A and B are shown apart, each in its own frame.
Chain A
Amino acid sequence: MTDTTETSTGILGTGIREGLLLKPVTYPWAMELYDQAVANTWFPNEVQLGEDLGDFDRMSEDERHALTFLMSYFNPNELLVNKALAFGVYPYVNAAECHLYLAKQMWEEANHCMSFEYVLETFPIDREAAYNSHVEVPSMAAKEEFEVRFIRRMTEQTLDISTTEGKQDFVRNLVAYNVILEGIWFYSGFMVALSFRQRNLLRNFGSLIDWIVRDESLHLKFGINLILTVLDENPDVATPAFADEIRGMILHAVEMEEAYNRDMLPNGILGLNADYINTYVRYLADRRLEELGFEPEYGVANPAKWMAAANDTLQLVNFFESINTSYEVNTRADS
């Protein structure tokens, strides 16, 4: 592919000489997200996790396995997102307002990592087992390997962000860490984490996850806006072949998540089994595909409509209906 014109007037660039003046703000959506993120600032110890210890003692082995599995995945991957931002996004963005948001997001990822440490410190979870399983469980390691591949490319000196190939590498990394890792895989985990509260268990842990979801929903908005802006400003990027590749990445990510969820819930726990979660994963993937301008792939309804509680409405009852009907998928129109 051929080189394109200088991108110093757009959102992409080396981000060193150009991103030093905040005004005029070129991308007001980034400032809006920054303001909201600052307003959302919270600290993990504001949640009294210790009050959930009684619940933890009453949980079954399968439930504890699921919780440990989640901690094992979330904890290092919050830091992996920071690597993706530091190596693959921040250096290639020109706009100061984007840098402001990215700096806040990176602190939030650190705060999330510390939140999961707080969970590990509070609950009698085998830390060594938790730390090790993200290395030793193949389905979990495969997800990390997928992410690292795209981050590593962003650190190579041969990457030139002014070329079509360089911009495509930038978008690939964004899709991998933002759309897939944060927008599908994390949300799948959040659903499992919040399912405990739906059964009146680990309510404070649920509050902690609420705060994290609130941050992550902003991360997702920022990433999608960034991708769409890059595509809008650089019409050379979205070739049919590249579009097919991006779509294929997302579909492959769904397959990986399905294998991971089968490892997390080999026997199922009350109200949840791997099929239920994987239907939710497919629902999420369709939403992410649509946000990127693709047609949905799976056409499934959201089985966990109560997850809308992560945003602004409560759907507790639907969750319990699903228990009573043996994981029946709720086929009513989504909210």
Chain B
Amino acid sequence: MSCVTFLTDEQRRRLHLAALDGSPVSTFRSPEVTESTLRRIAALGQDPRPGIRASAAAHRHAPQDLLHLLAEDPDTRVRVALARNAWVGADLLGRLAGDAAPAVRQWVAVHTSTTPAVRDRLAQDDDAQVRAVVAMVTSSR
């Protein structure tokens, strides 16, 4: 018997009552973003290991200047992480739309903050996969 199948009638009753209780189990708050948080993310962005820099590029609170710096990173994984970052703005996405790596441009194509003008440009991309992703995104919106 699994530990979960040991649920007694009493435990089931409590589970039922808990389900009726609308209060959340947590406030779901993350720590406040402080200067030291930003310094830590900036340090990650300078790390010699691409995987660590990719983490900085994907970070919710990465400073704009760092994101722009990482847009020039020599490792494609870092720039892909940047293009996948949901909090990256339209201006940086426009820049990434000209990236040499098709994988980066594909992620730009599906990003919700990409402007129609940039997406139109990607619809004419040299890479067939990029064009196909644009077509998919356009047809499903």
Taking beta carbons and an 8 Å cutoff, which residues of A are in contact with B?
Answer: 35-36, 39-40, 42-47, 76, 114, 117-118, 121, 126-128, 131-132, 134-135, 141, 144-145, 148, 199-200, 203-204, 207, 210, 312-314, 316-317, 320
Question: Complex Cα distance A317/B130, Å?
Answer: 9
Taking a contact as CB atoms under 8 Å apart, the answer to whether A132 and B15 are in contact is: yes
B7 within 8 Å of A (CB atoms): yes
Contacts of A148 in B (CB 8 A): 2-3
Q: How far is the CA of A127 from the CA of B86 in the complex (A)?
A: 28
Complex CA distance for A45 and B61, rounded to whole angstroms: 13
Which residues of A are found within 8 Å of B133, using beta-carbon distances?
314, 316-317
Chain A nearest Cβ from B41, distance in angstroms: 9
Chain B residues, CB < 8 A from A141: 2, 4-5
Chain B residues within an 8 Å CB radius of A134: 4
B60 at the interface (CB under 8 A from A): yes
Q: Is the CB of B51 within 8 A of A36?
A: yes
A131 and B129 contact, Cβ closer than 8 Å, known pairs A36-B52, A141-B2 = no
- A198–B84 CA distance with the chains assembled, in angstroms: 14
Tell me if B19 and A131 are in contact (CB < 8 A).
yes
Q: List the B side residues contacting A313 at CB < 8 Å.
A: 80, 103
Known: A35-B49, A36-B51, A44-B28. 15 other contacts (CB 8 A): A35-B52, A39-B55, A45-B29, A46-B60, A118-B28, A121-B24, A126-B19, A131-B19, A134-B4, A145-B5, A148-B2, A199-B140, A207-B86, A314-B106, A314-B107
Cβ–Cβ < 8 Å partners of A316 in chain B: 106, 110, 132-133, 136
Closest to B19 in A: A128
A321 to B44, CA, bound (A): 38
B35 to chain A, nearest CB (A): 17
What is the CA–CA distance of A35 and B112 in the complex, to the nearest angstrom? 31
Q: How many residues of B contact A (CB 8 A)?
A: 43
A316 to B105, CA, bound (A): 13
Q: B103 near A117 (CB under 8 angstroms)?
A: no
- State how many angstroms separate the Cβ of A260 from the closest Cβ of chain B: 14
A114 — which chain B residues lie within 8 A by C-beta?
A: 25-26, 28
Is there contact, CB below 8 Å, between A135 and B28? no
B77 at the A interface (CB under 8 A):
yes
For B52, the closest partner residue in chain A by CB is A39
Q: Determine whether the beta carbon of A45 is less than 8 Å from that of B52.
A: no
CB distance from A118 to the nearest CB of B (A): 5
Contact of A200 among B7, B25, B31, B141 (CB under 8 A): B141
Whole-angstrom CA separation of A106 from B15 in the bound complex: 25
| CB–CB B4/A144 < 8 A | yes
Q: How far is the CA of A76 from the CA of B132 in the complex (A)?
A: 39
Evaluate contact between B30 and A43: CB separation under 8 angstroms: yes
Nearest-CB distance from A125 to chain B (Å)?
A: 11
Residues A39 and B4 in contact, CB atoms below 8 Å apart: no
Which residues of chain B have C-beta atoms less than 8 A from A39's C-beta? 44, 47, 51-52, 55-56
Q: Which residues of A contact B112 (CB under 8 A)?
A: 203
Task: Find out whether the CB atom of B141 lies under 8 angstroms from the CB atom of A317.
Answer: no
- Establish whether residues A135 and B129, one from each chain, have CB atoms under 8 Å apart when the complex forms: no
Interface string of B61-85 (1 = CB under 8 A from A): 0000000000000001100100010
**What's the Cα separation between A46 and B7 when bound, in Å?**
34
Is B38 an interface residue when CB atoms closer than 8 A count as contact? no
- Residue from B3, B7, B15, B110 within 8 A of A128 (CB atoms): B15
Q: How far is the CA of A40 from the CA of B1 in the complex (A)?
A: 37
- B30–A46 touching, CB < 8 Å: yes
- Measured between alpha carbons, how far is A317 from B2 in the docked complex, in Å? 41
**A148 to B6 alpha-carbon distance, docked (Å):** 12
Question: Could you tell me if B7 and A135 are in contact, using CB atoms closer than 8 angstroms?
Answer: yes
Nearest neighbor of A47 in chain B, beta-carbon distance: B86
Which residues of chain B come closer than 8 Å to A145, judged between CB atoms?
Answer: 1-2, 5
How far is B104's CA from A313's CA once the two chains are assembled, in angstroms? 8
- Chain A contacts of B4 at CB under 8 A? 76, 134-135, 141, 144
Q: Is the CB of A144 within 8 A of B2?
A: yes
With both beta carbons as reference points, the residue of chain A lying nearest to B3 in the complex is identified as A148
B3-31 contact mask (Cβ, 8 Å, vs A): 1 or 0: 11101000000011011000011101111
Given contacts A117-B26, A121-B28, contact A312 B52 (CB under 8 A): no
- From residue B4, how far is it (CB to closest CB) to chain A in Å? 5
List residues of chain A with CB within 8 A of the CB of B84.
210
| A39 to B47 CA separation, bound complex (whole angstroms) | 10
In the docked arrangement, what's the CA distance between A207 and B107, Å? Answer: 13
- Can you spell out 22 A-B residue pairs with CB atoms less than 8 angstroms apart? A35-B49, A36-B52, A36-B55, A39-B44, A39-B56, A44-B28, A45-B28, A47-B86, A114-B25, A118-B28, A121-B24, A127-B18, A128-B19, A131-B19, A135-B4, A141-B4, A144-B3, A200-B141, A207-B86, A314-B106, A314-B129, A317-B136
